Amino acid sequence: MIAPKPPLPARALDDRVFAGVAAATLLAFAAVALWPGLSGYRVNIIGQLACFALLAVALDLIWGYAGILSLGHGLFFAIGGYVAGMHLLEHSVATTGVTPDIVQFMGWTALPAWWAPLGSFPVALLAAIAVSFGAAFAFGWVSFRSRVGGVYFAIITQALVYVAMLLMFRNDTGFGGNNGMTGFQMIFGVPFQSPSVATGLALASLGVLGVTLVGCRLLMVGRFGRLLVATRDDEIRLRSLGYDTLRLKLAVWCLSAVIAAIAGLLYVPQVGIINPRVLSPELSLEIAVWCAIGGRGRLAGAVIGAVLVNAIKFSLSATLPELWPFVLSGLVILVALIFPNGLLDIGRWRPALLSRPGALRPQDAAS
């Protein structure tokens, strides 16, 4: 399916960076699996970072490649997260028999009967995929068909995630309201206190990240990826060459939503809680910031941005949490001024750029 082609000079650097990021993912996987000196806390952080990287890759597919900015990807992340929460509660009740807190504060006598099938992990995984796909398909079909795009689409997605947050804050909605779901006891029959749980979850997250990275990369250098870039560059031109851009956009939008949901599914067991705060507009905006800082449309940039920003966030939240907003804003401004296409452009950086504020693309400046 993928025609072998000589890499373009401008892309050679990106190829190397991608190989580096893939190697780093593999290295992290090996370290978590084999290095006994890594503390459980560190392993947990690595696992969470992998989930954020996965979420950023999901956004990069539609924003970086297809040029469709979503400011509501937290919605799909939350779908995966809530399904994970329901699965873990069902599984915990089934294996320990202990009634979770959610039953008391929701005023129930037991978990809702319709949650029962989610106690099986394959069913939960399928549910997360199906619900995120269904939601993305319905919303995408309506929006793309009526040719909503650009900033309007971004605003609508932001509103969508906000509405979902308000809905989930209500107890009546039936998913734990403000408190969300927590107090998970067991995962795959293993108690959460066991150190092997953190290791297993981090390995799963890194594994899924690695496979997704390579899979998406193959997809993006192939025909599908080139057509997405063409959609981004000039959608009317592509349509007038006989292509149905609605289908292209729907396909990548749904793929992106499912990847985001899987990221949420992996994330929730590692933090032990899911509540409506993952639906806050701030998280959805931050995903876009990770991609912008790392560099859009190159997958590796999304991973670098997500890991870098969240690593700084983790280290600051332990020492100086009040500094975080200033550091994040500073980083955004710095990158926007010096590397408008993200940190991946460091390799192409020419000092002359600084004296040319109008220069948007370093390769233009160099040629």
Size of residue set near another protein by CB under 8 A:
27
Name the one range near another protein by CB under 8 A: 27-35, 222-230, 305-313, 351-359. Answer: 222-230
Question: Does position 291 bind another protein by CB under 8 A?
Answer: no
Q: What would you report as the CA-atom Rg of the chain, rounded to the nearest whole angstrom?
A: 21
* Minimum separation from the CB atom of position 226 to another protein (A): 5
* Minimum separation from the CB atom of position 236 to another protein (A): 7
Number of neighbours of residue 295 by Cβ within 10 angstroms: 26
* Minimum separation from the CB atom of position 54 to another protein (A): 24
φ and ψ at residue 117, rounded to 5 degrees: -60, -25
Footprint of another protein on 10-69 (CB under 8 A): 10
φ and ψ at residue 274, rounded to 5 degrees: -135, 125
Q: Which of 146, 240, 319, 355 binds another protein (CB under 8 A)?
A: 240
Name the one range near another protein by CB under 8 A: 163-171, 230-238, 251-259, 299-307. Answer: 230-238
Nearer to another protein, 16 or 145 (CB): 145
Asked whether 342 and 305 are in contact (CB, 8 A), the reply is yes
Measured CA to CA, the distance from residue 110 to residue 119 in angstroms comes to: 14
Question: Does position 361 bind another protein by CB under 8 A?
Answer: yes
Look at the block and give the residue holding tokens 């939503």: 257
H-assigned helices in 170-299: 195-221, 223-233, 235-239, 245-271, 281-294
Measured CA to CA, the distance from residue 325 to residue 52 in angstroms comes to: 18
Question: Does position 365 bind another protein by CB under 8 A?
Answer: no
Question: Does position 358 bind another protein by CB under 8 A?
Answer: no
Task: Supply 196's token pair.
Answer: 């092997």
Q: Which of 242, 325, 357, 358 binds another protein (CB under 8 A)?
A: 242
Question: Does position 356 bind another protein by CB under 8 A?
Answer: no
Measured CA to CA, the distance from residue 206 to residue 30 in angstroms comes to: 10
Question: Does position 245 bind another protein by CB under 8 A?
Answer: yes
Measured CA to CA, the distance from residue 343 to residue 354 in angstroms comes to: 15
Nearer to another protein, 209 or 299 (CB): 299
φ and ψ at residue 190, rounded to 5 degrees: -110, 135
Question: Does position 238 bind another protein by CB under 8 A?
Answer: yes
Nearer to another protein, 103 or 221 (CB): 221
Measured CA to CA, the distance from residue 139 to residue 158 in angstroms comes to: 13
Judging by beta carbons within 10 Å of its beta carbon (0-12, 13-18, 19+), is residue 100 exposed, middle or buried?
A: buried
Q: Which of 16, 145, 170, 239 binds another protein (CB under 8 A)?
A: 239
Question: Does position 229 bind another protein by CB under 8 A?
Answer: yes
User: What are the residues binding another protein (CB under 8 A)?
Assistant: 3, 6, 8, 10, 223, 226-227, 229-230, 232-234, 236-245, 297, 361, 363-364, 367
